[in-house]
Amino acid sequence: MSKRQLAMVMDLNKCIGCQTCTVACKVQWTNRNGRDYMYWNNVETAPGKGYPKNWQESGGGWEGSVLKDGKIPSLANDYGMPVQMNYEQALFAGTDPWLAAANNPAWTPNWDEDEGAGEFPNSHHFYLPRICNHCTNPACLAACPRGAIYKREEDGIVLVDQSRCRGYRHCVAACPYKKVYFNPLFNRSEKCIFCYPRVEQGIPPACAKQCVGRIRHVGFLDDEAGPVHKIVVKWKAALPLRPDFGTEPNVYYVPPLSSPKYDAEGKVTDESRIPIEFLEKLFGPRVGEVLKLLEAERAKKGRGEESELMDLLIAYRQEEMFKIR
Partner 1 sequence: MNRKVGLSVAGAAVLGVLMGMAVPVEGARRAKGDPVASLAGNGEVVTAARVAGEMPTEPGDGRFENAVPLTVRLYPQTATEPRAEKGVVREAALRAIHADTWIAFLVEWADPDRSDVKQGTTDTFADAAALQFPLKYGEAADRLPYVGMGEPGRPVNIWFWRNGGGTGPASLRARGFGTLEPVAGGEVKTAGKWENGRVRVLFTRSFSASSPEEVKFAPRQIGLVPVALAVWGGEKGERGGLKTLSGWRFVKFDGGKVSPAYVRSLAWNPKIRGDAKTGKALMTRHGCAGCHAYPGNPIPTKIGPGLAGIGGIHRPAYLFESLKDPSAVIVPHGNYYSMKDGQPISIMAPFSGPERDAYHIVEFLRSLR
> Which residues contact partner 1 (rule: CB under 8 A)?
37, 72-76, 79, 81, 145-147, 166-170, 172, 181-182, 184-187
Contact 204/6 with Cβ under 8 angstroms?
A: no
Q: Does 309 bind ligand SF4 (CB under 6 A)?
A: no
Per-residue binding string, ligand SF4, 163-192, x by CB under 6 A, is ------------x-x-xx----------xx
159 or 290: CB nearest ligand SF4: 159
Q: Does 24 bind ligand SF4 (CB under 6 A)?
A: yes
Among 10, 25, 215, 237, binds ligand SF4 (CB under 6 A): 25
Range list of H helices, the chain: 20-25, 87, 139-143, 170-174, 196-199, 206-209, 227-228, 276-283, 287-302, 308-314
76 or 100: CB nearest partner 1: 76
Q: Does 10 bind ligand SF4 (CB under 6 A)?
A: no
Among 19, 45, 108, 247, binds ligand SF4 (CB under 6 A): 247
For residue 291, report the phi and psi dihedrals to the nearest 5 degrees: -65, -40
Angle at CA of residue 258, ends 252 and 263, nearest 5°: 160
Which CA distances in Å does 258 have to 122, 272, 277? 11, 6, 13
Q: Which partner in partner 1, ligand SF4, none is near 192 (CB below 5 to 8 A by kind)?
A: ligand SF4
How many Å apart are CA 129 and CA 147, to the nearest integer?
29
Which CA distances in Å does 318 have to 4, 208, 323? 24, 10, 11
Q: Does 133 bind ligand SF4 (CB under 6 A)?
A: yes
What DSSP designation does 115 have? Answer: T
Q: Does 160 bind ligand SF4 (CB under 6 A)?
A: no
How many Å apart are CA 235 and CA 309, to the nearest integer?
7
183 or 250: CB nearest partner 1: 183
List residues binding ligand SF4 (CB under 6 A): 24-25, 28-29, 40-41, 131-135, 138-140, 158, 175, 177, 179-180, 191-195, 205-207, 247
